Structure 1
């Protein structure tokens, strides 16, 4: 619940709400969308390179995605509930049959799926959101108020049980997941397929259109960046005002994150992508750019390493800080994570060809040990 509202597990101060709002404006949904676009593009890059070497790119990609699914499930089971690798493996397999579609048709189909999925979710969530609104406003019927209070009590009980599980040791957490949440990665993947799959398809269309490789005119990229930030940012601020006015209530926040904010998320992610494409040639020649390149080349290793470090800091088998760091202090941990990734990735790649998990993933996909040391 704390991913949806700053009011969990403790009532939020103004600074907590402001920190949560900043993350909502700049990052929530936008980074996930950007990563999904890039994953779709990377699938095609992998296949193209395999086929240039006269190999079966589709078969290698399927094998690669199946291994990614296993890594994702182990990531969920051993470390963190919020894994996205299993979802990406499943969505990648679903996207693969469409890789030969023309870019315009692929983009149109992706946007249609994206719109229909979120409209259905939004429509389905409106009755409960309206009921919550009436309860907060004090205009709900006694029956609706009682129903809402009962739902809130269930959420509070689940949150307390979840917090208790995080305070447990390593083995106890794994046992609890196997007992109570063994199918969670699959249900999460299916529950987010209408977002992840179309974004991957859109990333494939962008790659084929030359978006990532200088094929778009600079003016088109500038217009996309400006329009996406202006329109997406305005919508995001309006949605944030609606959320803040109710104190970030849980049902409303669930509807916002799952459906209402989908369009501004996509608009801002595309704007970010266009901005980065324009900046990349110059940025890559700088010292910071070199470190960003190295960090990106080790994205898999850095993703899992981030989980390992942060769960050690917050879970019971480590420093046990879960529930003790308010939202206003959490950006410090984010900055620390960024600094660590930028600091170690470049020196590592000076000695090794790729990150350790990238090497393992590729070796398993290729079914032979790949070169590792330089």
Structure 2
């Protein structure tokens, strides 16, 4: 009986709120509008799926969208100018109408831009390094003029640590600010920003890594190609993956690893799953390379072991076949330590680059190479 009475009260309250809600919006009092909509939502949940209030339910969704749209410009301004009080007021409004996702999206949108600009600085620097003759069609300058107008070439591997340092500093500042501005949500908002950043930069990051691996070998540097191009066959026939290619990839991965450890420390208060998702995003540019790790090692080990001369060196003559076989056996025995060194290096690369996750691929590559 009491429950039925409360339901009737909620129904009456819903009718009353529905009648005054437009006046509340017209007053411009956004906190009151949010409170009114929250009360309407509460009343609707109490009365359940009643056909009489179907239109009110639709009206409520429209009004929530409308209020969200009204606060968005204020939210953007408050986030852009670090207005703590204004941000908290808007946060309360969005929470009341169940639109926290809007806050999350706007926070990411505002703070993604500076990080993206940091990332694009590398391309700007590379364009500035190009000779003026490449920038202006038909305009040719002397070699001396072109050289003097170019800045020193900056490799991606030299630039990446400074990028990570600046991003880390930016995230540290955001973490501190969000602890004040969003005391209940800072441990998810800032990691979400980094996850979204890595998602946006992923394709470009993969491409830069690829070119950086090619820069360490003159042949691939001249062609502006890298490991992925060699594996896909998008490169002149005969070009093979060399140890230096993979070592360059591992060096970049180690730089990312140092950044990931700093991020793990910074986000230590976040939930474990949030932290795992963030670290996965940080390492995501290397996923396509790890998927191809077995093929890389296969190519490298095949070339290295093939370079070991196991053939007998004695010219054929009377009894030469037996002597040649003996020489071959001797060379095979002497080659064992060399092969072991090569295999140990491959294991070290596997652990360094994949943490051992691709050890099965390495074993398959070793089996195939040794049986050749």
Question: What interval of TM-score do these two structures reach, taking the shorter chain for normalisation?
Answer: under 0.3
Structure 2-normalised TM-score? 0.23
The structure whose RCO (Cα within 8 Å, separation 6+) is larger is 1
Larger radius of gyration: 2
